[in-house]
Amino acid sequence: MLHRLEFLDLQAFILVAEQGSFHEAAQRLHLSQPALSRRIQKLEELLEVELLERTTRRTRLTPIGTDFLPRARRMIEEYESSILGIRELATHQKGTVTIACIPTAAFYFLPSVIRGFSEAWPGIRIRILDVSAKEGLERVISGEADFGINMFSAQSPEVSFTPLLKDPFVLALRSDHPLVDKPRIEWSDLEQVRLITVSRDSGNRILLDNTLSAEGIRLNSFYEVQHLSTSLGLVESGLGVAILPRMTMPGADHDTLCARELPKPRIQRTIGLVRSNSHSISSTAQLFIDMLLERWGNAECT
């Protein structure tokens, strides 16, 4: 069956899945829609499964299609890598490193490492999947990502975790908030203020709730958002305060926002490197990991 699997059929399936539209995918591939439909149909007949659900408005992946998508991407990447040539790969002149990274860590950890890595190996492409902790873990386990940067709490027996940095939680508030001038913040100071939190299924929220609950501390969680960046926006607008990882805060020179240290119990998350226990790391990805570990090691966010 494998010898009948065509590169263009896989490419067509990936584009339709990513675009959610036969029309847009056909334009990208410079094919007519009937020709694109025939390629998808041929792929589905070869695999003897239905990969896509077609409606009048959108095209969605079936559960099997969702599972097959990262496999198809890997097949394309492996094909492209083989075309680039064994010599280029062996000498790291060409290749791709895919990293599944929680958004708050993407701009903290990666820019300096990417800059140094690109100077050393300019032909290697970097693909960053800035996704949630749960999704990032899934991308590493499935093999879509070479490795991930994630929270320690988002772990699985299918991966190994190497700590990189301890990131303490801080109180985020406007620089004109009354609590800014207090010499020391106490939990009792926060009982009457409106707290802006992220959703309950967030790894950061679970860590915060579990720590406070164990100490019998109850706060006024008034607003709930999906993303840490949104909570910072509401804090900046003067709607309340937020308890966030220090990594999410802007620099000390920000005009409006500032951070204050929280009282005990100390709340912190550990950010680290996540690798699959079942997928081997490519030599190219290992080069990036080595540079990442050399740059960061096990530090504390300041």
Higher pLDDT, residue 107 or 87: 107
CB atoms within 10 A of CB 58: 11
Query: What token pair was written down for 74?
Result: 């890997």
Residue 290: pLDDT band (50, 70, 90) is very high
Q: How far apart are CA 13 and CA 38, in angstroms?
A: 11
Residue 288 near residue 206, CB atoms below 8 Å: no
Residue 83: pLDDT band (50, 70, 90) is low
Closest by CA position to 202, among listed 163, 179, 180, 230:
230
**Per-residue confidence (pLDDT) for residue 232, from 0 to 100:** 92
Reply yes or no on whether the pLDDT at 76 is more than 60. yes
Reply yes or no on whether the pLDDT at 244 is more than 80. yes
Reply yes or no on whether the pLDDT at 301 is more than 80. no
| Unique residue bearing structure tokens 């772990």 | 155
- Residue 242, exposed/middle/buried by CB under 10 A (0-12, 13-18, 19+)? buried
**Per-residue confidence (pLDDT) for residue 278, from 0 to 100:** 87
Average per-residue pLDDT in the chain? 87
- Residue 221, exposed/middle/buried by CB under 10 A (0-12, 13-18, 19+)? middle
What is the average pLDDT across 137-164?
88
**Per-residue confidence (pLDDT) for residue 42, from 0 to 100:** 92
Higher pLDDT, residue 81 or 282: 282
Reply yes or no on whether the pLDDT at 221 is more than 90. no
Q: Is the dihedral of CA 267, 140, 29, 44 positive or negative?
A: negative
Residue 130 near residue 149, CB atoms below 8 Å: no
Reply yes or no on whether the pLDDT at 93 is more than 70. no
Residue 55: pLDDT band (50, 70, 90) is confident
